[in-house]
A and B are shown apart, each in its own frame.
Chain A
Amino acid sequence: MRYLASSEMAEDRKDAAPGARTGFFAKVKRGLFMTHTEILEKLGTAVKESLGIDESVLASLEEALLSADVGADTADALTRSVRSRAGASRRQDVEALKELLLEEIEKVIASAPRPGPRADVPLFVTFLVGVNGSGKTTTTAKLAAREKAAGRAVLLAAADTFRAGAIEQLQTWADRLGVPLVRHREGADPSAVLFDALSAAKARGVATLFVDTAGRLHTKKNLMEELAKMRRIAAREVPGAPHETLLVLDATTGINGLEQARRFVEAAGATGVVLTKLDGSARGGIVLAIYRELKLPVLYVGVGESADDLVPFEPSEYAKALLGDDVAH
């Protein structure tokens, strides 16, 4: 039922796989330059000083995880798992610690369902939702670029009719990418834009419709209700739509990201996360908490402001990036 892992996505996966260290790491490298080995260095020192993986090392580990925004609960849970496994292990060096931690992080990520193949429907509808300024409009453009490159006919819906300049922003992207856009006036009803876009998509035989929605804080009940209404309209016009609802989450977000995800799942039926701005120094560790608590998978990461700065999420690469471990060293 997922948008991911269609054939060209599988290509990307290959790119990002060990050996061909392009994709993910090449893109997040700028950020890694800053945090490069920071965490592991700290842990290495801790291990050396205490001659093994003892409580002080585990305390450093927990701190390192907290510094990556995984949140207190997740940091605690990961540290516990590492503690019990390290106790049973003969190897007490930093490499062993790193391996254990990477495995535990990957386990957390594996606890959510892996995205399956893209639903085989004539018209695939994706909503992009999230709080203000997280990167929805830019991600809409990036996804459209991918779809177009995959040879599918794309349509965009400018359903953010609220924010000043939002329609023009998406229009600029649409022009750049050479994809059509359905728009109304600023201040128009977003549901009306959606309705028109769905009709146009059906009439033109478009394969993929991306719906850019206005940023909204998850605490604003009316605005969340508006998303629910848009979902109902989509479902009425196209069976099964929206097929994907992507929560666009800024990697700099702290603990609040978990609450955001919870509410966007509840009210807007979010099916996956796009973690943006991972080209900065933030690691977006809150997605681990989101995996643990909500089993909501990350599907893509945003690594820049250009149309091609979007890469499929790669759990093991992400786990390393979280630790600041530059595998390409």
Chain B
Amino acid sequence: MFESLGDRIQGVFKELRGEGHLTDFHIETAFREIRLSLLEADVALPVVKQFTEKIREKAVGAKVAQQLSPAQEITRIVRDELRALLGGENATLDLQGKPAVIALVGLQGSGKTTSAAKLARLLKTRGRYPLVVAADLARPAAVQQLVTLGRQIGVPVFEPGKRTDPVEVAREGLREARQTGRDTLIVDTAGRLHIDEELMAQVRAITAAVEPQEVLFVADAMTGQDAVKSAAGFAAALPLTGIVLTKTDGDARGGAALSVVATTGKPIKFVGVGEKPEDFEAFHPDRMASRILGLGDVMTLIEKVEATVDADSARKLAAKTATGEFTLEDLKEQLASMKKMGPLESLIDLLPKGGAMKALKGPQSVDERALVRTTAMIDSMTPDERRHPQILNGSRKKRVAAGSGTSVAEINRLLKQYQQMRRLMRTARKGVRGLDLSRLVLPGGRGS
């Protein structure tokens, strides 16, 4: 459904090969593609504009003397800039206070309560003694939700009891933390709309009462254009110190990450990667940049793959990619090793949508069957055909289709995707500084 930015820009510059420099026209055309690609990833329009202006300056400056092709050069600039904007790798929490106070705020249903529990659990594993305050008195059973989570993670929860004012609850929670010697206070607040003045005043009063070192804006990764408005609203009302980006375990491209960071100027400190208390991770700008650009969550994938595939075949494959000799035979080997990796679904979700790995994707979702069919098609080819797929003419395709119990259309799709994959690998190999994308679909030991 989505083309990766790499694909898009590659397309723009196809006719440009050999020209060696970028004309204004080419830059303009490339920028249209970049703009679209970002919009398709849900980056909010004002942020897209701001961002493209910034990289335009860089692109114009960088048009001379580069080892890279123009497409690769622009892709690299975009990615680097995106990574820079998304911020440093190690956004840490300020836990200076006694107790350290962290408040979670945001729109309804964004994941505040769940994140409060996740954060409490994480800090507990780091040797801290958190107390979580249930200061959401609005949503039915919000307290019960937190109490249940607290029990699951073994962290005490301060309940409002008969109190009806969340400001008072937060204040009492702080007192309780001091009395019982807890070193960290995590305040869960009710969901609210940034345009609801009354409730925004209330959350201001809550933070004023407990003076948190950290006020984290909890934002849903599936948010669209509205991300700018809601983030701006919360940033205007509260001294935000960071962002928690939730529900990144889906297939949203996550442009909201960029929108929210650009709007608030605050770093993303954590990401939610599932519903369970342990599904909480540090933020990696690299991964998010790749994801927004449709390059797939490369690093996460690599980590998963590394754990399962033997390094030998990996190195062999890496070498082949390096020389651009990635054949259908190699693809088959890839598939075989992917089968070993267990639940495919979680892996495939990390890959670029609609990009090179679509061959592995059934129409609805990945299943083993898609793998089996793809493998069957490749198996039905002669060694020559696997090495030189371009010789597959109509009659050969018919034979392969009959042999594998598939259709010519499917063969064509496989071939197209194989070509895309090769192209992506080539782009990736040279295209990005600092990150060896040649391992995109490849297993490989670190540093191999």
A235 within 8 A of B: no
**Interface size counted on chain B using CB atoms at 8 A:** 55
Q: Bound state CA distance, A253 and B225, in angstroms?
A: 8
CB of B347 to closest CB in A, whole Å: 12
- When distances are taken between beta carbons in the complex, the residues of chain A under 8 Å from B410 are none
- Name the CB-closest residue of B to A32: B195
- When distances are taken between beta carbons in the complex, the residues of chain B under 8 Å from A321 are none
Contact with A along B61-77 (1 / 0, CB 8 A): 00000000000000000
Q: Bound state CA distance, A159 and B111, in angstroms?
A: 20
User: Is A133 in contact with B109, judged by CB distance below 8 angstroms?
Assistant: yes
B335 within 8 A of A: no
Q: Give 27 pairs: A residue, B residue, CB < 8 Å, sorted on A.
A: A69-B225, A133-B108, A134-B109, A164-B117, A165-B144, A165-B147, A165-B148, A168-B145, A169-B139, A171-B141, A172-B140, A218-B250, A220-B345, A221-B367, A252-B223, A254-B42, A254-B225, A254-B252, A255-B42, A256-B224, A277-B108, A280-B195, A280-B230, A281-B226, A282-B229, A283-B226, A305-B108
User: Is A252 in contact with B250, judged by CB distance below 8 angstroms?
Assistant: no
User: Is A217 in contact with B249, judged by CB distance below 8 angstroms?
Assistant: yes
Which of B39, B42, B146, B222 lies at the interface centre, i.e. has the most chain A CB atoms within 10 A of its CB?
B222
A150 within 8 A of B: no
Decide yes or no: A219 and B250 within 8 Å by CB, A254-B225, A255-B40 being known contacts: yes
- Name the CB-closest residue of B to A33: B195
B interface list, Cβ under 8 A from A: 1, 36, 39-42, 44-45, 107-111, 117, 138-142, 144-149, 152, 193-196, 220, 222-227, 229-230, 233, 247, 249-253, 255-256, 275, 345, 349, 364-367
User: Is A221 in contact with B145, judged by CB distance below 8 angstroms?
Assistant: no
- Name the CB-closest residue of A to B229: A281
- Name the CB-closest residue of A to B151: A164
User: Is A165 in contact with B107, judged by CB distance below 8 angstroms?
Assistant: no
Taking a contact as CB atoms closer than 8 A, the residue among A134, A163, A260 that contacts B275 in the complex is: A163
- Name the CB-closest residue of B to A255: B42
User: Is A219 in contact with B345, judged by CB distance below 8 angstroms?
Assistant: yes
Q: Bound state CA distance, A63 and B48, in angstroms?
A: 11
A201 within 8 A of B: no
- When distances are taken between beta carbons in the complex, the residues of chain B under 8 Å from A266 are 364
Decide yes or no: A164 and B145 within 8 Å by CB, A132-B247, A256-B251 being known contacts: yes
Which of A71, A165, A221, A282 lies at the interface centre, i.e. has the most chain B CB atoms within 10 A of its CB?
A165
User: Is B225 in contact with A67, judged by CB distance below 8 angstroms?
Assistant: yes
A interface list, Cβ under 8 A from B: 30-31, 33-34, 63, 66-69, 71-72, 131-135, 162-166, 168-169, 171-173, 176, 186, 215, 217-221, 224, 250-257, 259-260, 263, 266-267, 277, 279-283, 286, 305
Taking a contact as CB atoms closer than 8 A, the residue among A69, A168, A251, A279 that contacts B144 in the complex is: A168
User: Is B364 in contact with A263, judged by CB distance below 8 angstroms?
Assistant: yes
User: Is A132 in contact with B275, judged by CB distance below 8 angstroms?
Assistant: yes
Q: Bound state CA distance, A305 and B191, in angstroms?
A: 10
Taking a contact as CB atoms closer than 8 A, the residue among B139, B252, B275, B366 that contacts A256 in the complex is: B252
Q: Bound state CA distance, A165 and B159, in angstroms?
A: 14
- When distances are taken between beta carbons in the complex, the residues of chain B under 8 Å from A283 are 226
- When distances are taken between beta carbons in the complex, the residues of chain B under 8 Å from A250 are 109, 220, 222
User: Is B223 in contact with A254, judged by CB distance below 8 angstroms?
Assistant: yes
Q: Bound state CA distance, A12 and B41, in angstroms?
A: 37
- Name the CB-closest residue of B to A134: B109
- Name the CB-closest residue of A to B251: A219
Q: Bound state CA distance, A263 and B109, in angstroms?
A: 21
Taking a contact as CB atoms closer than 8 A, the residue among A67, A162, A165, A260 that contacts B146 in the complex is: A165
- When distances are taken between beta carbons in the complex, the residues of chain A under 8 Å from B247 are 131-133, 217
User: Is B349 in contact with A219, judged by CB distance below 8 angstroms?
Assistant: yes
**Additional A-B contact list (16), CB under 8 Å, known A135-B108, A253-B224, A257-B222:** A66-B39, A133-B111, A135-B109, A164-B145, A164-B152, A219-B250, A219-B349, A221-B365, A221-B367, A253-B223, A254-B227, A256-B42, A259-B251, A263-B364, A282-B226, A286-B224
- When distances are taken between beta carbons in the complex, the residues of chain A under 8 Å from B249 are 217, 219
Q: Bound state CA distance, A31 and B224, in angstroms?
A: 16
Q: Bound state CA distance, A272 and B250, in angstroms?
A: 22
Decide yes or no: A254 and B250 within 8 Å by CB, A67-B225, A286-B224 being known contacts: no
